[in-house]
Structure 1
């Protein structure tokens, strides 16, 4: 929604240098549980599984759908997730790696109930 408020239906024009900063303190807990159970049972985890974790899949889908061509960074902070995500976005902007950053804060619910996600567009005078 924050991209749509700023850019309509998208995608963004090439060269937009929009980064995606994905922040999740818990990460993909259901994926971790699957890996743990498979390894405990003596099974083998295929390498593609690690690229298909839920948070990474969301970041990739959003970047592809909107044509975001900046870096993608995934964080699992030990402190305040929003503060650490904003600090990472600020670093990308300051270093010139991105013109703006889509900060996505996501936590998956471990019990199958819906999780929570928040997104904010930072940079180029925006806080959408």
Structure 2
């Protein structure tokens, strides 16, 4: 995957990152509180890498976080099913991480991002759908920037194979300024 195509419209790419990149050996580092799944560490690693590379000063105004994943965190879902099917008590750790928004909340807190958080499962092109959500957030005045993260899955939906993140802002000045409400539109 090469990332989001930012040449199709009036969006400016502030930074881009992927996992893995040359030099990455093994999975991303674990995250405290997220267990038994490679999904959350992958999202956090690629988001952090992208935000760290941001050109200029830190995020300005509200930065939305948009996660696009066809399967989300199937490893956590499988672990919960295995516990329930086995008649065992399900660890409380699985409850908060069983929704993709939890890792986005972690990323937003870690990087002091104040915009809306959106998760979607694409029906078609994940790049186009992530870009469309970002454009909608800009047009509605809900965000000044958007961190769009796309998680790829190989043959096994429980094992994400990589991720791409791109930090975007609108190029034109015709979009309304962010409203400060932080609610998705």
**Superposition RMSD on alpha carbons, in Å?**
2.9
- CA contact 1:26–1:76 (8 Å) conserved in 2: yes
Aligned length: 122
| SS of alignment partner, residue 55 of structure 2 | helix
Q: 1:5 deviation in Å?
A: 2.8
The 5 A counterparts of 1:88-103 are: 88-103=133-148
Tell me how far apart the structure 2 counterparts of residues 77 and 112 of structure 1 sit (CA, whole Å): 17
1:2 is aligned to 50
TM-score of the superposition, structure 1-length normalised? 0.75
Deviations 1:85-124 (A, max 9, x none): 1111111111111111000111356488672010111114
Runs (5+) with no aligned partner, structure 2: 1-48, 172-185
Runs (5+) with no aligned partner, structure 1: none
TM-score of the superposition, structure 2-length normalised? 0.55
Q: More helix by proportion, 1 or 2?
A: 1
Q: Are residues 1:116 and 2:162 paired?
A: yes
| SS of alignment partner, residue 116 of structure 1 | strand
